[in-house]
Structure 1
Amino acid sequence: MPLPSVVAAVATAGVVFAVVCVVMLTASARAHAGACRRAYWLLAAGAAVAALTCVGGIAASIAMQEHVVHSQPDRTLLGSLLALGIAVSSGLLLAGLLMLPGAAPTPPGMLRHLLDALVIAAAVWFVCWVAVSEPTHLLGDRTPSGCRPLLIPAAIAALALGVSVITAMRAPQPRGPVVRVGAGVTLAAVAGIGLASGVCQGRTLLVDVSAVLLPAALGIVAFAARHADRMPVPPTDPGEGLAIEGELSRRGSAYAFLPMAAMATSALYHLLRGGEFDLIGIVTGSLEGFALVARQFLALRDVRAYAERLRDREAYFRELAHTDPLTGLANRRGLLSALEDERVAGAEAALLSLDLDGFKNVNDMRGHDVGDAVLVEVGQRLRMALRPGDVAARLGGDEFAVLMWARPGEAKRAASRLLGVLGGPYEQEAGTVFLSVSIGLAGCATVPDVATLLRNADIALRWAKSHGKNRVELYDIEYDVKLRRLTELEHELRGAIDRDELHLQYQPVVMLPDVRPVGAEALLRWQHPRLGKVGPDEFIPVAEECGMINRLGAWVLHQACHQLSRWLAEGHDVWVSVNVSPRELHAPGYVDQVKDALRAHRVPPQRLVLEVTEHAVSSDVEELIRRLRDLRETGVRIALDDFGAGYSSLGQLRRLPVDILKIDHSLVVKEMVRVVVELGHQFGLEVIAEGIGEQRQMTMVVEAGCKLGQGYLSGWPVPAEHFEARLESATSPARVVPVPEQKRDRDQNAGPTSRRAQNVRSVDSSHEMRQA
C-alpha cells in the first residue's frame, strides 16, 4: 500500500478517535454544573467543530488525489473554509480552557490572563511574520501567501500558546491538567493551520499528517480535561480573589520583558535586512502596545481596588477592636480612644463609671446566658438614655462607663436618672431579674490627663459601692485620701503580726452591783510605729476585705487562750470572750482551730466564750446554727453580741444555740433592759448589759435584774497586766458567770460560786502557742 494511502487510513481512524473525544467531553459536561459545565460544553463544541474540519480536510485531500480539485482558486477556497473552521474550533477550545477550574482565579482574572497571553501571542506572531516575510522568507515557496483566512487560526494558535504559558506560570497547584489542556488546544490550532495550509498549497501529505495530529491534540484535551475538575474552586470573595491575583501576578514577572525583547530584536533584524513594515506588522506591534497598556491599566485598577479594600478592612478591624462584641458598645480601648481623640482632659465633660450590683448572683443562679442577655439590655438602655455625642462603653464583666459632655452637676443629675433606667426589672425567659447600679462620677475640667480621670471615676465608684450601693458619688479629694489610707493600712496590716505591732486589751465583765470582775472581753489593738494607734473600726473592715481576718482571728484566739491559761494557773476564777467574724465562723476548719487552741494552751472549754455579732445571723441562719452547734460540742460557750441591733427575730433567737445575750448599748440608752433580761431568762440565757457609761444606766440595769455588765463605768479596755492587777485587788472572791444546767456536767473545774476556781497549775503555753 502506498504511503499516502496509509496516512489517509490513519487520518480516517483519527477522525473516529476525534468523535470519541467529543463524546467524552460531552459526558464530562453533563456530569458537572455551573461554570465548569460551561467549560466542558465549550471544549466539546470546539472538538466537534475540529472533528468536522478534520473530515473536511481528509475529503479535500482525497479530492486532490483524485484530481477532482486541481485548480488554485478551488484549493484556496477550500483552504479558507478549513481555516475558518479551525478558527472557530480553536476559539471554542480556548474559551473552554479559560473557563476551566483553576485556569483563572476570578472572572476578572480571565481578562488579565487574556491580556498577558496577548502580549506573548503578539510577540510570537510578530517574530513569525518577520521569519516568513521578505527579506527572510524562511518558508520560501511553501509560504501560504494566497490563503489569507489562515491568519485567524494562526492568531488563535499564538493566543492559545500564550494562555498555556501564562497558565503554566500562574495557575495554582496542581496546574498540570490545565497546562496539558492548553498544550492540546495549541497543538489543535497548529494542526488545523497545517490542514488548511496543505489544502491551499495542494500538499496532500501535509493534509494527512495534520489530520492525524488534530485528533491526537483533541485526545490530549479530552483526557486532560477529565482531571481538571480536581483543581481548586475559584474564590467567591472579591477580596480573596484580589489577594490571590496579587500573589499570582508576582510569579513569572519576566513574561512581559521577554516578548518585548523578542519583538525588538526581530524588528531590528528585519530593518537591517532591508525589510519593510506592512499593515500586518504595524497592527501586530500596535496590538502588543495596546495589550501592555491595557494590562497595566488593569493592574493599576486592581492595586487601587485592593488598597481601598485594605482600607475598608482596616477600618472594620479598627472598629471591631474598639467595640464590645456582646453589647455593641465601645470597649475599654474604644473609650480610651474617644478620651484621647476628644481631648476631654480639662474640658467640660464628665466620666461615669458604672457597676451592676449583684450581677454575679445572676450568673451563678440563672446562668451566663441570662447574664449575657441582661448585659445586652443594659447596653440598649444606655444607648436610649444618653444624648447624641455621649459615649457608652463596656469595660468588662458588669463594668460600664459613659463619657458625658456636661458639667459635673448636670452629669450627676443624669447619672441619678440612670439609676432608675438601669435599676428597672429585666424581663427574661427564665424570669425577671432585678439589679441595681452604683455610679462613680468624675469631672474632666480639673484633671491633667486621661489616666487621672479614669482613676478618679474608679475611686468614686468604689466609694459608692462601699457606702450602700445603688447611688451616685461625685469624686472628692477626701475619697482619695481615705482610700489611700485604706490601701496603706492593707499593706501594713499584712506584716503587723510578724512585726509584733498587735496586742490585746481586756475589758472587764463585772458582777453587779458590786462591780467585781468575773470575765474579760479580748479586744484587738494595733500600734503602728508611723501611723500611730489604728482603731479596730478602721482596720477590721480592711482585714475582712483583703482576706486577713482569718489570720488575725487565729492570732487573737491563741493569744487570748495563752493569757487565760496563765490567769487560771495563778488561781483566778475568770473567763475570756473572743469576737468571731462571720467569715471566720464559716471557714471549714474553724471548729478544729478552736479545739487546737484549747488543747495547746490547756484551757477548760467552758472558760472560753465566742462572741458572734447579730449581723452574722442575717447571712445564712441554717449554716450559722450548724456551725454554732459544732462549736458548743467542743464545750465552749456562745454569746450573741449586739443583741437588739435589728437583725435577729424572736423565732431565730429560740433556734440559735447560744448561752449568753449581750444587750446592745442602744437598748441600754432606751431603757429597754428589763424586757431583754426577762426575755433572756425565759430562754435560759445569761444576759450582759453593754455600754454602761453612767451611774444612771448602772442603776437601771441593776433594777432590771441584770447580773452582769460591761462598759466604761466598770472598766476600760486595759492591757493584760492591768486587768490582772484588778483581779488581785478584788476584796472578795470572784464569781464565775453561772453556767446553765445543761452545761454544768461539762464544767469539771467550776465549783460553787462562793469559792475560787481550782488551781490548774502554772503553765507556760508559749511553746504550745508556737506549735499551734
Structure 2
Amino acid sequence: MKIVASSIKADPSLVSAPANRSPRLLETLLANLDGMVYRRREDESWAMEFISEGCLALTGYLPEDLLMNQLVSYEQLIHADDRHMVRARIAESLSQQSRFEIEYRIVRADGQLRWVWERGVGIFNPDGSVDALEGFIQDITERKESNQALLEAERRYRSIFENAIEGVFQTTPSGAYIAVNPALARIYGYRSPEDLIVSLRDIRHQLYVENERRAEFMRLMEEEGSVSNFESRVYRRDGEIIWISENARAVHDEAGQLLFYEGTVEAITERKLYEAEIRHQATHDALTGLPNRTMLHNHLQRAIQIPRQKSALTAVVFVDLDQFKYINDSLGHQIGDELLKTVAQRLVSCVRDSDMVARQGGDEFVLVLENQADENSITEVMQRILTAVAKPWRAGDREFHITSSIGISRYPTDGRDVETLLKNADSAMYKAKERGRNNFQFFARWMDTQVSNRLEMLVSLRQALDKDEFKLFYQPKVSIADGSIIGAEALIRWQSPEQGMVAPDRFIPFAEEAGLIVPIGEWVLRTACAQNKAWQEAGLLQIPVAVNLSPRQLDQSLPDFVRKVLTESALSAQWLELEITENVVMKDAEKTVATLNALKQLGLKISVDDFGTGYSSLSYLRRFPVDALKIDKSFVRDIARDADSAAIVKAVISLAHILNLRVIAEGVEDHEQYNFLRQNGCDEVQGYYFGKPMSVADFTLRLQQEQSSEE
C-alpha cells in the first residue's frame, strides 16, 4: 500500500508506533479503516497534507487528486449548503481546543450525494496557534437513510395513531391508560387524550357497565394473550352507556414480563341497536308487535321441555276472528289492520305476563298458557278472552261486534310436540266454528273434522304429478331503474279436476307433510329450466328464472340434481336463480353454507326469500354465498303508512348493499310503494303493479312485447 504525503516533514504525532516497528504496520492499519484519515492545514484553502487511501472509496478521487488541492480541494466536495456549517463548527471547537464531530454531505466524483461523519482535532503550536487539523472521515449514508426511514415510519405511525377513526390505546394491567389517540377520547366523551388519561384511572369500575366484562377481558389476556371483537357496554364521561368492540393483545418484554396491553376500540352502538331491531322484527309481527310464528314455536318448544309441577298443564290456544274477512274485504286492509291491533291488545290484557300471545298469521292468534292447574283455570281464561274480544269496536262512525272461535290443546294430554299441539288446537278451533262460533272447544280425538279433508287432499296430490295437473306460472321481475324485465319467478299452481285452480299455500303444506314436496320441487326445476331454454331458442329476451326450494330439497344431493337438470335442459347456469327462505337458511347454517357453496360453483344465482320474517345472524349472512335478499311482501305492503315497516325496508336495503347483494322487493301493488323503493335504492321489484303470475302463453307474449319495445 502506498501512503501519499506532502514534501513537508510529517509531524511525529502522526506515528504512534515505536520507532523500531515497521512502517508497514501503520500502512496496514490505515488501509483497513473504513474511511479516510487526513491531515490538513487550518487556512482558507484547507489544503490536505496527508490523505489515506480510504479517500478513493469515500470521495471517488485518488489521494493525490486532493493532496495540496492539486485537482480539487476537499472543501469543494462538501455540499454547498453545508460548507458554512462545517467551517463554523470546526472554528468553534478550535476556539475551545476541543475535539469536533460533524455530520454533513459531500458530492463524490461520480456525482453521488453521500452523508459523512467527521471527527477531528486541532494540532496546536506552543504559542497556541493552530498548526493543522487531523481527523477521520467515514461514510454514514446507510445509517442516515436507515434513521430517516425510522423517522418516516414513526411519523406515519404517529399520523395513523392521531388520525385513526378507531380508538387506539395502551393500558397497564392494573387498569390505567398509558397512551390513547384522539379518536378514543371522542368515543368516550373526553376533551382530549390527556384529559382521558388523567380522568380515567380505574378502567374496571369507571368504564365498564358490567364489571365482570373487565374480568373476562383479563382472563382472556392471561390465557390467550389477546381478545378479538370483545363487545362490552361502557360509560361515556357524561354517563351515557354505549357499546364498544375491542381488539387487543398483551405486550411482553424480552424476558417475558408483561409490560402493557394495547389495542383498538370501535363504537358499535348503532350496529347493536340495528341488530336488536332486526332480531325483534325477525321474531315479532310487524303489525301487532306480538311474537310471530318463529318465536311462538321456540317458546312452546321450551315450555314443553321445562320440568312442570306435578299435574300442571300447558295450554295451546288457537284464536280465530269470526267476522274478520268481511270487515277486511268491505272496509279495506287499513281498517282490518286496526282491528287486528285492537284484538292483540285485548288478548294480552286477558293473560299473565308469563303467558305468550303470538300472531300466527292473518286473523289467527295463538296463546301459550303455562302452569295451569286444571281445565277450570283454562276455562276462566277462555271466558275472559271471549268477553274481551266481543266488546264493541268502532271504525269511523260504525260500530262492530267481533267474536272469536277458540280451540285448546293441552300438554301432555293432547300432544307431546309443538306440531301436534298446534295442529290439535287448530282442529278444536274449527270445531268451535262448526258449533256456531263465539265459543271455545277443548281438543278431543274424535273431533278433528279436518282429517277426512286432509286425507282426500293427500290422495289427490299423489295422483297430481302422474296426471300432469301441475302448471307453472311466471311473474316478471322488473328493474327499478328503467322498468325493463330482468327476470321471472316460477310459481306452481295445481289444476285440480275437483277443486279447480288451487293456490300453493293450500296444497304445499300437505305436500310437505306427505313427503311429496321433493318430487314436486324436482318437477318445478325441470319444467322451469326447459321453458327458459325454449324461450331462448325462440330468440326471446334472455333472463334468469327463479325457482323456490323447499327445505326438504336443501341437502347434499341437491347440487348434483341441479347439475343434471341443467345438462338435460341445455340451459346455462347463469339463467337459473334458486330462492331459499330465510328460516331455511338459518335452520342448519353450517350444512346450508356447504350446500350453497356447491350450488354457486355451478354458476347459478342464489337469493334469500322472505327476508326479515326470520332471524339471520349477520355473521352467518356474510358467509352465505348469496346474490340477493328478497324483502317479504308483508313489509312492502305497509311501507307507505307504517314507519316501522319503512324503517325495516330501508335497513334491509342498506345492509344488502353493504354486503354487495341485490335487493328484490316482492308484493309491490301500487305506485306509492314503487316510488318509496325507488327512492331508497331497491334494485328489483315484482308484484301485481308490474304483472300478476302469468301462464306460459301470456308470459311469452309479454317477453315479445318487451323485446319489440327495446328494438
TM-score (norm 2): 0.39
Q: Which has the higher strand share?
A: 2
Higher relative contact order (CA 8 A, sep 6+): 1
Structure number with larger C-alpha Rg: 1
